[in-house]
Structure formats: structure tokens, C-alpha cells
Amino acid sequence: MKNYLIRALRKLRILKRITIYPRITIGKTTFIIPIINETGIYNYLSLSEPWMQYILENLLDTDQTVVDVGINLGQTLLKVKAIHTSIHYIGFEPNPICVHYTNELINVNNLQNTEIYPIGISEKTTVLKLNLYSDSAHDSAASIIEDFRDSKDIKKSINVPVFRVSDLELTHHSKIGLIKIDVEGAELDVLKGLKEKIESDRPFILIEILPAYSIQHTNRINRQTEIQSLLREFNYSIFRIEKANHHFMGITELQSFGIHSDLNLCEYILCPSEHKTKLKNTLAKS
């Protein structure tokens, strides 16, 4: 189905009442993309993130496991499976709408070696409120951090389970090679919840940390500072991903995340210090 037809169906509000299954190609792999009452439309229309695809293609080994914390609608899942369908993928997502959609995405594409856990990851196993800041039931800005954004902007809250990974029995049989974390302010909690796996498997960590903006945002700054302390404990180094027009341009090693307001500077690779040279060589642009 052509892009213009889907855009027309959306403009006419027909897409909110139907389910369609168009196809997209990522690299050499074709996927069926469910669009269910408009959910999933951006997987079809605007999935492309060349910078992330480049990093995944160069850092992933097909005999390792990828852990995805913050699945949303399976955007990273598609990128991983486009590299090789045999890569073992484990995803965590507390939003039940996102879990339902991603399971449909997995089923219609018959994706193997793929596991979804309908939970978040945190420092301890409990139930927290997931705050949504838009009318979308799959709000990508949703956060379990109570004061991460202004409380007056909360549209809806739902109770969700979060687990420390050590309280789970994961069924993967290969080493975790890469962890992707996109959790809207809860990065510190996730890193603490994954502590044992990070220390044992020493994976690369692809992480988004949104800006602190100014010194007045003390909560964000304090969380960044605590992440930096935790990384020193892990013996990990921080590399910022440099991009231009959504394409990968390189990496820059940092001593801290700093205070800035540039949303283009929010993606990082956290690297075991013993693999810094490997990382630089692997992602070197010719």
C-alpha cells in the first residue's frame, strides 16, 4: 500500500476505524506492519533512523542477545530483526497497549527468538504509576518518574508492574551483547535493575538521556550525577552519538552528560572501559 493512500485514509479519519497490514522493507528484510486504529502508522511512514541502524549493524553479533527496555511499538525490534532474524531479542514494556501491538507485530511476521515481558525494569519489584502526557494510549513520552515532567501535563496514569531483573528467570541462553534503554527519565532505575546482568555480560548500552536544560532542573541533574557514579562503579565510559540529518557521524567520549538543551545530543553509548578501543574502531566512519 502506498504512503499517499495511507495518509489519505488518515486524513479522512477512516484509518481510525479499520486495520490494515502494509509492508515495509528495512535493509533486505520485508516486514508486515499492522496499523490498528492508526496505532503503528509511524512504524510504516517514518521508522527510519539511519544513525541507529548503523550502530546496531556494527555492534550486534548474531549469536548474542539484545535487551530492549522501553519497546513502545517495536521500532527497535524491527531494526534488530532486519539485521538478522536469528538474533535473540528480549523486550520489556509496561504499557499494555504497546505490548498488545508489539505481540501482533511479532505474530504477523512470525518472528522467532523473540520474547516480550509486559513489565518495566526498575531497582525493585513493585507497582508504579505510568504517567501519559498525550491523548495517545501508546504515548512515547510516558514515564514512571513522578516529577520528570510537570504534573499538570499528565493526561492519564495507569498502574504498571516493574521488576528487578534478578527477580526474573530469563530464558535466553546467549550472552547479552547490547541493551537499548529508552525510558523517559527512568534510566537510573533501569541501570540499577539490570546491575547483575551488566556486571556479568558487559554489554554495550545504547541509551537516551533527555536534557537537564538548566541548573534549575535539580532532579534531572541529580539523576544524571547518580548515573555517572554508577557507571564508574561498573567501569563504563560515556560516548555521545553525533548525528547530522539523522545519520551517524561519529562518537565523542565524555566525562559527564552535562547541562544542555539540545534534543539532538541525547543519545549515548555506554561502553565497558575495556572495550573502548573496540568501540571506536568498530564505529569508525571510512
Q: What is the pTM of this model?
A: 0.95
What pLDDT digit, counting tens, does each position of 160-188 carry? 999 999 999 887 778 999 999 999 999 99
Task: Quickly count: other Cβ atoms within 10 Å of residue 185's Cβ.
Answer: 20
Query: Is the model's pLDDT at 1 over the cut of 70?
Result: no
What pLDDT digit, counting tens, does each position of 86-131 carry? 999 999 999 999 999 999 999 999 999 999 999 999 999 999 999 9
- What are the b/e assignments for 251-266, b being 16+ CB within 10 Å? beeeeebeeeeeeebb
Q: Report domain extents, the chain.
A: 1-46, 48-282
Looking at the domain that runs over 48-282, which CATH code has it been given? 3.40.50.150
Contacts with 260 (C-beta within 8 Å, 6 or more apart), sequence order: 211, 212, 213
- What are the b/e assignments for 75-85, b being 16+ CB within 10 Å? bbbbbbbbbeb
pLDDT band at 11 (very low <50, low <70, confident <90, very high): confident
